Chains A and B, each alone.
Chain A
Amino acid sequence: MDGKFAVGLITANHFGVLNRVAGLYSKRGYNIDSLAVGETDNPAYSRMTIVSTGDDYMREQVVRQLKKLHDVKSVMLLEEGAAVGVEHLLIKLRAQGQGKALLSALINAFGGKTMDFGEDFVTADVTGSPQRIDAFIAEGKRFGILEVCRSGLIAMATGGRAALAAPTDSEENEEKGA
């Protein structure tokens, strides 16, 4: 059955890596719903969280094919219940007079922050689960949305173990020496 699924991966941090990773999805005609990428604590590596939609077969293929890429160091499926995930939203909304107070209350209710404002607009920052972000956007429509910018999901496995960590410098050297 088709469903959304998130994959976390540690990759080398250099040009072209994103292309290769995205290519595995596009080759199969699958859309990437969201992709978030950033440097890890070790600048030689990046971490990505990719959300896509597909059935069990596609999940398995994506993970196995990703593992084969030379630039990909580790991969894991971040399954609901075994992972925590959040998404970041920047949203610019129309707001004037009375509306500003209402909007301010809405932002507070979602634990968000006002990042910028002017005579007739407010830019808010909201963090939460994708569903929570969806809910905020739905509410925001009442005010009038000027711009939306979502970070895409970032996710991490639950529990105390380093499930998906970049190799440290000493581990890297070990790998090379082996």
Chain B
Amino acid sequence: MQLSGAQILIRELAGHGVTTVFGYPGGAVLDIYDRLQEEGCPLRHVLTAHEQGAAHAADGYARASGGVGVVIATSGPGATNLVTGIATAYLDSVPLIAITGNVAAQLLGRDSFQEVDIIGVTQPIVKHSFLVKDVCHLAKTLCEAFAIATTGRRGPVLVDLPKSVQTAVCDYQPPDDAPPAKRQAPDIDVSAAVAAIRQSRRPFLYCGGGVLAAGAEAEAMALSRRLSAPIGLSMMGLTSVPHSFPLNLGMCGMHGRYAATRAQSEADLIIAAGVRFSERATGNTSEYTGGRTVLHIDIDTAEIGKNIRPQIGLCGDVKDILAALLPAVPEMCNREWVERALAGKQADEAQARPGFTPRAIIRAVAEALGPDALVATDVGQHQMWTMQHYPFERQRSLLTSGGLGTMGFGLGAAIGGCIQRGGRRTVLFTSDGSFGMNLTELATAVSQRLPIAVVLLNNGSLGMVRQWQTLFYGGRYSQTTLHRQTDFPALARAFGAEGARARTLSELHAALAELPEDGPCVIDCPIDMDEQVLPMIPPGGSIKNIMMK
């Protein structure tokens, strides 16, 4: 069958189960877009306002589904606008396929119009990338791209398609796509791990994004129950265990819950599953590891020993390893340990203050929208408050930029996630700083008629940076007070969205009760500029340095 490169691309995307792509047209992808508008095209294309928004949307789509997200951009500036989105996906191990157009193959390297070496630009932030120079290799290359993005530790793959490859025609044979390697029980010796667990009096289970990636939520909870091990979560692992799971103490780390941080610091064994021990999660590494055994389980061998040197490292699929451990360990219960760990929650609860506080706002939203809502965040204080106070019950119900900490991630991600969930109620927690970065995507949420509630915690400053300036820079607020006069509800209306302002909890309740079902609504919630994210462990510190107020 004679097909053009553009046709092959669409066939292969559909063949790999893709139904929705996000993107933005341009000169070097005209052939692809010409095929996308054809009747019977199996792909829905979602046009965003900016390529960065498209990349975050594809990322949000992937995070919400556990599958692949696809973004298409033209050459040059279209491609470079993807960079932050690709890096965000890379740091959080999200399987993203980025398709970029490029100038015709014979024009490569001549500084042609809108030409950029996007393979070179993105090289350190992709799992792999391909420049396809011959249309005959396109189908096979795309199969490889999907396989790389979705196997092992997941990550973004970029496929650069010169315009000449999109137009060139070849005899297309669907590649005999080898079925994905069947998952086998790991050939891993768990005996050292079992011995360490048997010896432990105070085991602690630390779950990360790898638990979600492997679909190991049930195994993690079963292990926690079997060992009576309290669970702490990394930010990427936050939805792997429901908030209501009795032994779930919440997020660990710099802005983690006191209960989780204390229990982790008092444990004699940390079973770390699918985490990479980011410095924001561990603080001082010698304090972190001192006096306890660390058992590190991860699919990426390079992570074992990279940031923390564990006594025991098990490399493989987290689900397989936890499943292998489960029948090999005894039922254990150190009542004193569990009770002390759970008692730590009181310190967290004691932090509640009356009034229109971030905590009260987030809890009110959670209550109004229920456990099925999808939650996205931007980056900063509002993000940490969401991590601390939103009671996540469903796996993959949180879309947040962890490793890269990308301000401006949230709206695009909310759009992608909302579409992936078939237009389910979605809430974006953001702030005046983060929202200001990519708010043009409101146009996309309007055109796609997406029920996204944008809850904007408006403190008139770049709050997280301000917090650090307060604590560590003598209150010198260099360039963090915004002095802006943006009227967010009016701005929302200008985009064709709805807008409201809530200064009290009852105003917030009223606004939440009237959220439109077929479009976005921005709820501007003014909060105090000096609200801080607490607890906080200063960088490089430990539980000894924790600031509670």
Contacts and interface: CB of A to CB of B under 8 A. Distances in A.
Nearest to B157: A70
A23 B119 contact: no
B300 interface: yes
Contacts of A15: 131
B305 interface: yes
A13 to B, nearest CB: 15
Contacts of B306: 61
Contacts of B129: 16
A27 interface: yes
Main secondary structure of the interface of A (DSSP, over half): helix
A90 B91 CA distance: 44
Interface in B147-206: 148, 153, 178, 181
B513 interface: no
B128 A70 contact: yes
Given A16-B119, A16-B131, A61-B306, A67 B301 contact: yes
Given A16-B119, A16-B131, A70-B148, A64 B124 contact: no
Interface string A158-178: 000000000000000000111
A131 interface: no
Interface string B283-306: 000000000000000001110011
Given A16-B131, A27-B124, A70-B127, A61 B302 contact: yes
A98 interface: no
Given A61-B306, A70-B127, A19 B301 contact: no
Given A70-B128, A70-B148, A19 B302 contact: no
Contact of B302 (A27, A65, A177, A178): A65
A139 interface: no
B334 interface: no
A176 B127 CA distance: 20
Contacts of B131: 15-16
Contact of A68 (B119, B124, B302, B305): B302
A78 to B, nearest CB: 20
A20 B123 contact: yes
Contacts of A64: 301-302
Most A CB atoms within 10 A — which of B120, B124, B300? B124
A23 B123 contact: yes
A60 interface: yes
A70 to B, nearest CB: 4
Nearest to A62: B302
A23 B302 contact: no
B162 to A, nearest CB: 14
Contacts of B127: 70
B120 A68 contact: no
Give the interface size class of chain A. Answer: 10 to 19
Most B CB atoms within 10 A — which of A23, A64, A65, A71? A64
B151 to A, nearest CB: 11
A15 B130 CA distance: 10
Interface string A68-112: 111100000000000000000000000000000000000000000
Interface in B397-427: none
Contacts of B181: 178
Contacts of A20: 123
Contacts of A23: 123-124
Interface in A28-73: 57, 60-61, 64-65, 67-71
Given A70-B128, A70-B148, A19 B120 contact: yes
Interface in B104-141: 119-120, 123-124, 127-129, 131
B300 A68 contact: yes
Given A16-B119, A16-B131, A68-B300, A60 B124 contact: no
Interface string A7-19: 0000000011001
Contacts of B301: 64, 67
B329 to A, nearest CB: 28
B119 to A, nearest CB: 6
Interface in B303-323: 305-306
Interface string B459-473: 000000000000000
Contacts of A65: 302
A65 to B, nearest CB: 5
A57 B134 CA distance: 41
A71 B305 CA distance: 24
Nearest to A65: B302
Interface string B512-537: 00000000000000000000000000
Nearest to A16: B119
A59 to B, nearest CB: 12
Contacts of A70: 127-128, 148
A138 to B, nearest CB: 38
Most A CB atoms within 10 A — which of B128, B181, B302? B302
A68 B303 CA distance: 11
Contacts of B124: 23, 27
A20 B157 CA distance: 14
B128 A19 contact: no
Nearest to A15: B131
Nearest to B302: A64
A167 B17 CA distance: 32
A64 B302 CA distance: 5
Interface in B357-371: none
A68 B305 CA distance: 15
Nearest to B315: A64
A136 to B, nearest CB: 37
Contacts of A27: 124
A69 B181 CA distance: 19
Nearest to A69: B128
A153 B178 CA distance: 40
Most B CB atoms within 10 A — which of A23, A57, A67, A70? A70
A68 B151 CA distance: 12
20 contacts: A15-B131, A16-B119, A16-B131, A19-B120, A19-B123, A20-B123, A23-B123, A27-B124, A57-B305, A60-B305, A61-B306, A64-B302, A65-B302, A67-B302, A68-B153, A68-B300, A68-B302, A69-B128, A70-B127, A70-B148
Query: Which 4 pairs, one residue from A and one from B, show the smallest C-beta to C-beta distance?
Result: A64-B302, A70-B128, A65-B302, A64-B301
Interface of A: 15-16, 19-20, 23, 27, 57, 60-61, 64-65, 67-71, 176-178
Given A15-B131, A23-B123, A64-B302, 9 more contacts: A16-B129, A19-B120, A57-B305, A61-B302, A61-B306, A68-B153, A71-B128, A178-B178, A178-B181
